[in-house]
Every structure is written in C-alpha cells, then in structure tokens.
Chain A
Amino acid sequence: MSVIEVVWMVAKILIVFVVLLLAMAYLTLVERRFVAWFQWRIGPNRVGPLGLIQPIADGVKLLFKQELIPAKADKFVYFLAPAISLIAAFAIISVIPITEHFYIADVNVAILLVLAISSLGTYGIIFAGWSSGSKYPLVSGLRACAQMISYELALGFAVIGVVLMAGTFSLREIVLGQEHIWYFIPQILGFIVFLIAGVAEANRAPFDMPECENELVAGYHTEYSAMKFAMFYLGEYVAVINVGMLATVLFLGGWHGPAIFGAGLIGLSNLFWFILKTCAVIFFFIWIRATLPRFRYDQLMRFGWMVLLPLALLNIIITAGIRAFIQ
C-alpha cells in the first residue's frame, strides 16, 4: 500500500465521518421541522436563517452543560455506555459503498459485519440502563435487550433474501447486482420486514420502547446529562442514517439512478441518487413517527416473533426456491 493510498484512505474516513456528523446534526433539525409541519406547527426557525444554526446551538449548549452523575451509578460502565453506543453507530459506515468507487472498505462479509456491529450498539443501551442505578433506566435496559434480540433476528433474515439474490455478502457487489432491477421489487417482503425491523433497530417510534418518554421518563438515558446524553442522541440519529443507507444499498439499488434517466454523469449523479434514496427512507421514518401511536412492549415482542420473523423466513424460502428453480 503506497503512501498516497494511505493518505487517501485517511482522507476518505475523515470526509465520511465529518459529513456523517454534520448530516446527523442537521437530521435533528430536519426531523424537528418536518414533524412540526406534520403537526401544524412551525418548528425551530429562530436561530439563524430558517433555523439553520439550531443544531450548532444545541451542540454548544450540550457541550457546556453541567455533568450530573448519579451517586449510585457504576461509574466505569456508566462512562463506557455512551461511547459504545456512538462508536458502534459510526463504525457501520465503514463498509457502506456510497458510490461505485467511493467507499472506505469493501469487505467480503460486510453484511455480517454490519449486523454484528449494530448488535454491539445495543450493549450501550443495556449498560446505560444497568449502570445508572435507577429504576426507569433499568426497566428500559431490559426492554432494549429483549427488543434488540427479537428484531435483530428479523432484520438478519430479511437481509438473507438479498444475499441469496446477489450471491455475495459484499455490499458493493450487492449494489452492482442491482443494475437492472432493484431488489425491493423481487424482495418486497424482505424490504418491508427490513424497514420495520430497521425502525425497531433504531429505537424509533412506534418502536421506541426503551425510551418511551410517557412511560419511562427518558428510558435508558434518564440519568445522563450534557455531552454523554448528546452521545446517545448522536448514536441514535446516526443509527437512523445507517438504516436509511442500508435500505438504499440493499434494496433500493444504491447509487444507481432509475433507468429512465440513463447513466448520467457518472460520479456526481451516483452520489445524488444515493443521498436522495437515503433521505427518502429517513423521511419515511419521520413520517411514521408523526403518525403512529406506540406499541406496547409485549405486543412489540409478539409482532417481532409472530409476524416479522415468519415473514422473513417465508421470504427466504420463496427466494431460495426460485433461485434453485432458475438454476
């Protein structure tokens, strides 16, 4: 590996990291504005033109807030939890191909890596719940634990359909395989299961059990303040972006534009399509958050095990059957 390659790699990591961080910050603003419009409100528009400086103001505020640590907290785990949450969320981006040539790493078991790392993120929530030394976070940690196990399974099985179609675990090659037909058409069942499980994976309404403001006050981060709270917050929004990007890569054809537009300008239009699709998925997340009530914890579990998992399994059987038949 030459020096230039190393520099380019570091540069790519930096670019992706900074862009993701900014995207996350502005996602909070976008979400607030969109939800406000759904609810006939205006939303934050005071700080800067159109409220564009709001995320920065929020960040500065959180940075300078006083840190409060509960006396009964298990200090080491308490500090570890937000870090795990954040690092796990950011690590996933490393294997996601943004365009054909722009990605940090093309791993031949990328999907497995993604699933593994996103499971790690759950530990952040569980640790936070256990270590806070408080009852609401404890209940929340237990909920998160159960929810993650059941939805991770459905998520994983939903992806297997895609893997069967593409015949590879590498995300880049999966996108390359979608040049003619995006996988959400043959894999519509898998796509639906993936989206629903993705919402649950990102802990968002209507699956925001672990947080569940109206029941558990603030769930696992009840006892967190200032920057440690912000880290959970960051992790959560990055997870939303991750699910959006994964849905794009796995089901929506990644950087490929719709066939009617032709190939177009190779580099930039690829980036454009990737971002557009990711935003569309994220918008869908915001939309259902503004529309649906929250599940109850046991109903959520039942839904995961009794509906999503069988559907995902059915999808695998059908896909595998068709593959076998064609070959």
Chain B
Amino acid sequence: MSTAVDERLQSALGGLAERAYVDAAGEPVAVVPPANLREAVKVLKASPDTYCDYLSFASAQDMIPRVPRFDGIYQLYSIKHHHWFRLRVPVSDGEALPSLADIHKGADWHERETYDLFGIPYDGHPDLRRILLTDNWHGHPLRKEYDHQFEPVWAPGTNVLQNVAEEGMAGHEAAGEDPAKTIVLNLGPQHPATHGVMRLAVELDGENIVGCVPHIGYLHTGIEKLSEHHNWTQNITHYARMDYLSPMNNELAYCLAVEKLLGVEVPKRAQYIRVLMSELTRIISHLVWLGTHAMDIGALTVFLYCFAEREKILEMYEAIGGQRMMTSYIRIGGVQDDMPESFPGMVEAWEKTFDSQLSIYHGLLTKNPIWRQRTMGIGVMDRDTSLSYGLSGPLARAVGIDWDLRRDNPYSSFEEFEFDIPVEQTGDVYARYLVRMEELRQSRRIVLQALKKIAETEPGTYVAEDYKLAPVPRDGINASIEELIHHFKYWTDGIWVPSGEAYGFIEASKGELGYFVVSDGTAHPQRVKIRGPSFSNLSAFPEMIKGHLIADVIATIGSIDIVLGEVDR
C-alpha cells in the first residue's frame, strides 16, 4: 500500500514538495517549503487520489542545531481512502508559517498550541494567543533549550489570578451596539459540569448564548516535554495519567507508535490481550461519560449505576495489571504480564449482567421525553464542519461519517474481530448518545471474541521475546551472563530505539488518539506529539452551542466527552 500511496502523493504534490520519503511505518512524508504549504494542503484535499479531508493535527518539531531550526508537522488523513500523509515544513526561528485555519478549522487550536509551545508564529491566524499556558508565560517550553530553572516562569510583577478575571471573552465579544445588554459569565475553572478544570467564558443575552470562548490549559502538565526527558519505557506511565478514564488506550497508542519504530512483532496473545483490555477500557470510559452526561442533565441515578458497573471492570484491571487507574499495563512489545487464569471467569461473570444493565440505562434515558427534549437538536454539527474541525470518534459517527480506525486501519489484529460500527445522521447530542450506547454493546461483543482467541494462543507469550525490549525473567538472570547484561542494560538505559518517525494511532473511546514519535536513535524520544481526540473535539465547541441556552452548554459538553487531562496534556 505504501508505495502506491507514495506515488499518489508524488503525483498530487508535483513540484510543491522538495522531497518525499516513507517513515518507519511505511507512511508517506513530504517536505514542503512554507511558501507552498497552503497550496499543498489544498491540493491534497482536492485531488481525488489523495482526498485528505481530515487534519489530524498540526504541530512542530525542534530540529536544533539544524538550520532552519523547526519543522512544522501536519498529519493528514483521508476519510475516504483511509490513508495518512504527513507534511514537514522547515521553518527557521522567528519565521512565520502560513495558517491553515481557513482550510481546516481544526488547525486553529493546533496552531495556537504550536505557537504556545514552540513560539512559531502563524500568518493569517484569526486569534493567535497562547492556549495551554497562560498569556503571562515566559518562553516556549518545547524548545530544546528551554529550562525553567534559569528563567522566571512569570514575568516580574505579574498578578497571576488577575488573568482569570480579565481574559474573559479575549476580545471576542459580540460587536453589539449596546454593551450593557450582555454579561460575560465564567463557567469554570471550578464548575460542577466542566468535567475538570476548564473555563468557558460565555457571553449571555438573558440565558441565550451570544458568544463562547473556551479557555483550557488549567491541567497542563507538560507531558510532551516530560516525554523527552524520560526513556521510552518510563514514558508509558505519563500517558495513563493523560486521559485518566481510559488509561490502557493511551498506553496502547504509544506502544504501537514505538513498535513501529522498532519494527518489532508483537505476539498474537499480547495483541488479543490488548484488544480485550482496550475494549474494556472503552466500556469504562463510556460508562463514565454516560454517568456524568446524565448527571449534568439531572439524572443523578444513572451516574451511580454507571459507576457501580465501572467498578467491576476496574477490579479486572486490578486483577490483570495490579492497578485500577494508572495501569502501565501495556508495554512496548506486548503487555506487562500474562492474563491470570481467573480472568476469563471475571469477564464472563460481568458480561452476563452487562446487557441487563444497559437496558436499565436505556429504560431511564433513551425514551424518556425529558431526556429527548434536552438532547435532540442540541449541539448540532453538520458533516463538513465536523470534518473541518477534525472531530473523530463517536462525534464524527454521529454526523454520518462512517469511520472507525479499528475497521479502516486495523491495528493489534482488529481485522480478525467482528463488530458493527454504529452511525447516526443527525449530529446532535442525542445522536452521540445513541452511538456511544451502541458502542458499549459492540465492545462487549469484541471482548467475548477476544477471550476466545486468547484461549487459543499459548500461555506465557505475552511479550516479544527480545530482551532488548522486555525485562528478562528472574530465572533467566541467574542462568546466563548475557541475560544478566540485558537485565542491567534494560533497567539502566532502557530501550534504544532506532532513529526515525512514526505515527501510532488507535480508535480510542473519544476518537482518534495518536502519538507521533520521533527518535534520534537514543534511549529518549526526540519528540512526542500527542494528538488527543478531546482537544480537537473541544475546539468545535463554540460552533456547536451557537444560539443555544446555558443549559445546552452543559448538555453539549457532556456529549463531547472531554477529559481535561487529555485536552491540556
């Protein structure tokens, strides 16, 4: 496939690209000069061969000491052909990149993030402000020379708290004649319905929303920067903390990316265990979504039912990996440990009651007239806007985009599983609800298939038999000097990953979760860019709630299913 795609890329881009190559995963990359970037993206979007209608993310990489210093990185995808393209745009320090915000609306936030973390300005960007860090921040953390210990993080004399009060609409107030007609209400950072620390500055005319500016970054923990300082294995521990409601999915996407760089073959048993755990993860993530979403709309009981159900799966987590939330269970080359013998019994005991649980949720909500009134026709997106913002996962499927990475770009042996992908057409909160409710059922189907498949594989083959990747078993250390050396090297240096770049992606519970990793051949990543689905999904929020009421803000946030840990990283 890769060569065919490569040719298509070449023919579509023609003279726009300086050169093109194929990355470690066989995906085509083109190097494009800044002047040609907009043209190249437009051509890729329009050309029937490539048809890249979806911008996965826009980011950058600090290539110091190379001149020009930075590479702007654009990951494109075609919903129609299911292939990836990456563009690299070399740009020197201080030089601006052209903004893509008018071609792909989703680029807006991604460019702001890149500007924030790298200091690369964008020409023609509608609203170039910092996004993850506060406006008063000094420096750009993802630059290699950035070191907060030598620079004050805050400019001298800054009133940190003042920022929150004054940012407000950030210059986005409706240009009405009468400024006294509207008030600006800050929903958040501490608000019962923002699911974490997010702030929505909402401009209100009565209870009608005139404008909305989301402020994020309150939970920014610099995971991408930290990733450059820890070794490849240690990094896994960060990612469970990112989307803390679906920890194993985060780990899986990262491990897939690193495995692409390493070119390692993961044993079948490990792949099936990954499928099993990733579907269980989808279920717990959706259960928390359903619970909190229902609670936001006032159905408190559903919340507690969902958490009771989630508890059963967290116990399985505990049985298989020893941890309930911050699992670090999925490792490079496989998983941390084999599935315990009691595990299938636990899953079976749970799945027997799961269907009746689902029907309880359906009974409380699906046909409930209040629920339908609250969700139908609210937060509607149409197909084109949705694609333009880079919405993925259940949000995309709710507007009729029949796209699921598990089926279209299968990873971890998903092609061997049978499952249906629910698609709804209306694109409102209710459609998203229906899609996720059906996904819960489908995930249960996959879990059962995975259990069967695991039973057919040989026990003990849970990680690649390569002691450069996985720790040596205890008895091996005593047996041979070579394995002792492996043991020593593994625990001191970690894994050395050959230089190259790869994009690991999965269909996480919230959408397309991707890790773009670059290695310079050492034990630490050179760059890890995390494409969190919540980030892109949230960026479309102001569009969704145009003309709605305060109560709809709450319903819509719930339907996006954001986890701020992932939005802010």
Contacts and interface: CB of A to CB of B under 8 A. Distances in A.
A296 interface: yes
A39 B185 contact: no
B48 interface: no
A295 B554 CA distance: 12
Nearest to A218: B192
A214 B296 contact: yes
A294 B304 contact: no
Interface residues of A, number: 29
Contact of B551 (A213, A292, A297): A297
Given A293-B297, A297-B551, A217 B373 contact: no
A296 B551 contact: yes
Q: Report which residue of A41, A205, A215 has the largest number of chain B beta carbons within 10 angstroms of its beta carbon.
A: A215
Interface string A25-61: 0000000000100111100000000000000000000
Interface string A126-151: 00000000011001001100000000
A216 B551 CA distance: 9
A20 to B, nearest CB: 27
Given A135-B185, A213-B192, A38 B301 contact: yes
Interface in B354-373: 364-365, 368, 370-371, 373
Given A139-B207, A206-B298, A293-B299, A40 B305 contact: yes
Nearest to A136: B185
Main secondary structure of the interface of B (DSSP, over half): helix
Contacts of A299: 370, 373-374
Contacts of B206: 142
B191 interface: yes
Interface string B317-345: 00000000000000000000000000000
A291 interface: yes
Interface in B538-561: 549-554
A53 B554 CA distance: 36
Interface string A83-95: 0000000000000
Contacts of B551: 212, 215, 294, 296-297
A296 to B, nearest CB: 4
Contacts of A135: 183, 185
A298 interface: yes
A294 B298 contact: yes
Contacts of B204: 139
Interface residues of B, number: 32
B55 interface: no
B193 A291 contact: no
A284 to B, nearest CB: 16
B304 A292 contact: no
Contacts of A296: 373-374, 549, 551-552
Given A38-B301, A214-B295, A293 B368 contact: yes
Nearest to A290: B301
Given A293-B299, A295-B373, A40 B308 contact: yes
Contact of A293 (B192, B207, B298): B298
Top 10 nearest A-B pairs by Cβ distance? A294-B298, A39-B304, A293-B299, A296-B551, A214-B193, A293-B298, A293-B297, A214-B296, A293-B370, A39-B301
21 contacts: A35-B300, A39-B304, A142-B206, A143-B207, A205-B298, A214-B193, A214-B297, A214-B554, A215-B193, A290-B301, A292-B370, A293-B297, A294-B374, A295-B373, A296-B551, A297-B207, A297-B549, A297-B551, A298-B207, A298-B549, A299-B374
Given A292-B370, A296-B374, 6 more contacts: A40-B304, A142-B206, A212-B551, A293-B299, A293-B365, A299-B373
Interface of A: 35, 38-41, 135-136, 139, 142-143, 205-206, 208, 212-217, 290-299
Interface of B: 183, 185, 191-193, 204, 206-207, 294-301, 304-305, 308, 364-365, 368, 370-371, 373-374, 549-554
